[in-house]
Amino acid sequence: MPIHTEPMTINVGPQHPSTHGVFRLRVTFDGEEILEVEPVFGYLHRGTEKLAEERTYVQIVTLTDRLDYVSSMINNQGYCLAVEKLLGVEPPLRAKWLRTMVAELQRIASHLMGIGFFLQDLGTLGTPLMYGFRTREKILDLFEMLCGARITLTYMRPGGVFSDTPPDFWPALENFMQELPTEIGEIEQLVMENEIVLVRTKGVSPLSPEMAINCSVSGPVLRASGIAWDWRKMEPYDAYEWVDFDVPVGANGDNYDRFWVRMQEIHQSARIIHQCMEHIEPGPVRLDLPLVFRPEPGAEAYGRVEASKGELAFYMLSDGGVSPYRCKIRSPSLINLTVTEHLLVGWKLADMIVTLGSLDINMGEVDR
């Protein structure tokens, strides 16, 4: 006797343990299999771009913190680069090194969270996540020494950084960099060769290089698909032209490769930080810019950085006033989300959650 079945539509989110914020997916299932996916976002919209039009250039730095709130340093960096281009100024050398160094520290923190939540979505009871948080906590302590804040940092300013490092920062950083390989090694030992992690992630939801390019994906998601595309190499900003590092590239673009690329990038970031610690020299950390300035009317600039989630870019247009006429943010998470339908249809519910985790989105950035 044939059993009558019909597809079932479920709203996954906005209140769901694994939607990484307030993301909603309207999914139609045939049993466990996914037939249709429709991502719905906008639950965290705070009008950052519009708010930026009402603030002075220095005040906007605080808005960028709230974009991808687990990698505020890199957001600051992208915005400051755009404003510096708008003004046609260059920050001092020490500021460049400092920015590079803290951006890489932030990248480690962000990737650790990305990996931790990815493994949480795989069903581990938070053990790798907590391992990651242990290391991230130390990075946040370092940031606290630098600027007094831990999450929303506002450390960078157009024309440099907020202030020079306190004297006890360098020994603390030295200490942290010594502990880092052990702590990362523990996570790798726990999960990289775990049979269940391998069967759950290898070959699941592959993203072809063509599809990745067509969807304009960037960051670890793009590199996992086999394309070496990294703005730190291609258009070096701050001190990246003077440091030596590799770009980890996956081969299959599946969930495991996305996870693997992030894991390797942590090692590369550590390499960059070591070089920054070696090369940094005393000097001024900030240009003597006024607190409120007016760029040329009609001046426009596009500043981009390789953020932890992909290409983060700020397009600034000035009308000669104290605040920008337009501040457009290209957020990597939003654009990486455009591949969700291609990745998810045909896979199972459990894979859907893991794939979303492997994209490592941040809703603060998706709904600017």
Partner 1 sequence: MSPDNVLYGTPVYRFVYELVGTVLPCWISYVAAGLVIMFILVNAVLMGAAVFVFAERRLIGRFHNRIGPNRWGPFGTFQPFADVLKLIFKEDITPAAADKIVFLAAPIVMLAPAILMLAVVPFAKNTALADLNVGILYILAVTSLSSVAILMAGWSSNNRYAMFGAARGVAVLISYEVPVVLCLLGVVMVAGSMSLADVVEAQAVPFLLVQPLALFVFLAGVSAELNRTPFDVAEAESELVAGYHTEYSGVKFALIQAAEFGGVVTASMVVVTLFLGGWAGPLADYLGWFWFLLKVGAVAFIFIWVRATYPRLRIDQLMAFAWKFLLPLSIINLFATSLEVFFLRDSQGVLATNDLWIMTGINLALGAGCIALFGSMIREKIKPVTWQPAAGTASLTVGEVT
Q: Assess contact for 21 and 362: CB atoms under 8 A.
A: yes
Distance (Å, rounded) from C-alpha 324 to C-alpha 313?
A: 15
Torsion of CA 284, 67, 112, 335, to 10 degrees: -120
Considering the rule CB under 8 A, would residue 226 count as an interface residue with partner 1? Answer: yes
Which positions ≥6 away from 101 have C-beta within 8 Å?
A: 272, 273, 276, 277, 280
54 versus 137: smaller Cβ distance to partner 1: 137
Q: How many residues bind partner 1 (CB under 8 A)?
A: 58
Of the ranges 59-67, 85-93, 251-259, 273-281, which one interacts with partner 1 (CB under 8 A)?
251-259
Restricting to residues 172-201, name those near partner 1 by CB under 8 A.
190-191, 194-200
Considering the rule CB under 8 A, would residue 274 count as an interface residue with partner 1? Answer: no
Q: Assess contact for 156 and 73: CB atoms under 8 A.
A: yes
Distance (Å, rounded) from C-alpha 259 to C-alpha 343?
A: 15
Restricting to residues 26-55, name those near partner 1 by CB under 8 A.
32
Q: Assess contact for 107 and 71: CB atoms under 8 A.
A: yes
Instruction: In angstroms, give the least distance from the CB of 192 to partner 1.
Output: 11
Instruction: In angstroms, give the least distance from the CB of 277 to partner 1.
Output: 21
4 versus 171: smaller Cβ distance to partner 1: 4
By the 10 Å C-beta count (0-12 exposed, 13-18 middle, 19+ buried), 57 is classed as: buried
Considering the rule CB under 8 A, would residue 342 count as an interface residue with partner 1? Answer: no
Considering the rule CB under 8 A, would residue 3 count as an interface residue with partner 1? Answer: no
Considering the rule CB under 8 A, would residue 236 count as an interface residue with partner 1? Answer: no
Q: Which residues is 310 bridged to in the sheet?
A: 307
Q: What one-letter code names the amino acid at 16?
A: H
Write out the residues near partner 1 by the rule CB under 8 A.
8, 10, 16-18, 32, 119-127, 130-131, 134, 190-191, 194-200, 202-204, 206, 209, 226-230, 233-234, 246-252, 254, 256-257, 260, 264, 267-268, 348-351, 353
